[in-house]
Amino acid sequence: MNQVSSLKLLWEQIREEAQQVCKTEPALIKYIDATILAHQSLLSSLSFLLASKLHHESITEYVLKDIFDDAFSSETKTQKAILRDIKALIDRDSACHTFLSAFLYYKGFHALQAWRATHLLWSKNRRPLALMLQNRISVVFDVDIHPAAKIGQGVMLDHSTGLVVGETAVIEDCVSILQGVTLGGTGKESGDRHPKVRSGVLIGPGATILGNIEIGEGSKIIAASVVLKDVPPHSVASGVPAEIVGTTNIGSPAEIMDHGLSG
């Protein structure tokens, strides 16, 4: 299924899937029309979708849609990230069977794309607005990612409920993170104080990673572990506090999604 190579092709696929849903489920016709078929592009549809979820009585859907439209249209890097993020869902989540479902119903995807807008606002020194949106994302999606954090492409936030990512955290390309994960600091220290998660890493549900430590490329953090020190590349870390219990024999655990202790 994952043959789309551009946002245009992805949008064509989503629209085709949306039209099929309208034929088989009349109760969704109005919703599908408003969120998908009424829009000329994926970026416009995504802006509308996020604005409809994140608006508040003090900031309207129209204002938010303009903010998201500007953010998503201003950088090709962000557009490539959106494409890779939705493809990651299709590739890695066995419960996600269509691009339409990934786009409409996966709040980890929604939270990540809304965060991308806050990150662009932060970089443009529009920090009060970025922080307001961070709060709305946290309230609505239960995902709290600081606008200054750095996140790559092809990232999957699976389920995502309870995810916390601190200000100086780094998440590189092709990382999968499950629900209840914390990438946090260890106290009141300032400066660079949050984890650096390298490419290909898989972080299991409920894992806590604290401090300015590095989770090496292609590593795996087992569910509910508490990681307080560096994890070498291609290692398996487990326990409270976590220790290295093995090595991975695949380049990217994030793509395989095997949460077992074996590599």
Q: What pLDDT was estimated at residue 3? A: 60
In terms of domains, do 19 and 5 share one?
yes
Cis peptide before 233 (omega within 30 of 0): no
- pLDDT tens-place string over residues 150-192: 999 999 999 999 999 999 999 999 999 999 999 999 988 889 9
How is the beta sheet containing 235-239 ordered, strand by strand? 156-157, 176-177, 202-203, 220-221, 235-239, 242-247
Parent domain of 44: 1-143
In terms of domains, do 70 and 193 share one?
no
In terms of domains, do 210 and 154 share one?
yes
Amino acid at 167: E
Mean of the pLDDT values across residues 67-94? 95
pTM of the full predicted structure? 0.96
Structure tokens at 189: 């220290």
In terms of domains, do 164 and 106 share one?
no
Amino acid at 96: C
Q: Check which CATH number belongs to the domain holding 256 and give it.
A: 2.160.10.10
Q: What pLDDT was estimated at residue 9? A: 95
In terms of domains, do 163 and 212 share one?
yes
Residue 20 pLDDT greater than 90, yes or no: yes
Average pLDDT, the chain: 96
Mean of the pLDDT values across residues 232-241? 98
Contact (Cβ atoms closer than 8 angstroms) between residue 223 and residue 217:
no
Q: What pLDDT was estimated at residue 97? A: 94
Mean of the pLDDT values across residues 237-262? 95
In terms of domains, do 139 and 154 share one?
no
- Based on its alpha-carbon atoms, the radius of gyration of the chain, rounded to whole angstroms, reads 18
- pLDDT tens-place string over residues 116-139: 999 999 999 999 999 999 999 999
Contact (Cβ atoms closer than 8 angstroms) between residue 167 and residue 195:
no
How is the beta sheet containing 182-184 ordered, strand by strand? 143-145, 163-165, 182-184, 208-210, 226-227
Q: What is the percentage of the chain residues whose pLDDT exceeds 70?
A: 99
In terms of domains, do 111 and 7 share one?
yes
- How far is 89 from 102, CA to CA, in rounded Å? 7
* E strand spans, the chain: 143-145, 150-151, 156-157, 163-165, 170-171, 176-177, 182-184, 196-197, 202-203, 208-210, 214-215, 220-221, 226-227, 235-239, 242-247
C-alpha pair distances (Å), 211 with each of 176, 183, 228: 20, 8, 7
In terms of domains, do 256 and 178 share one?
yes
Cα 149 to the center of its chain, rounded Å: 12
Q: Check which CATH number belongs to the domain holding 109 and give it.
A: 1.10.3130.10
What are residue 151's DSSP bridge partners?
171
Mean of the pLDDT values across residues 211-230? 98
Number of domains in the chain: 2
Q: What pLDDT was estimated at residue 255? A: 97
Q: What pLDDT was estimated at residue 263? A: 72
Q: What pLDDT was estimated at residue 136? A: 98
- Phi/psi class of residue 163: alpha, beta or left (left: φ > 0; alpha: ψ in -120 to 50)? beta
Contact (Cβ atoms closer than 8 angstroms) between residue 252 and residue 236:
no
**Residue 223 CB contacts under 8 Å (≥ 6 apart), including other chains:** 178, 204, 205, 206, 207, 259
Helix/strand/coil for 75: coil
In terms of domains, do 48 and 177 share one?
no
- How far is 108 from 141, CA to CA, in rounded Å? 8
In terms of domains, do 163 and 238 share one?
yes
Mean of the pLDDT values across residues 140-146? 98
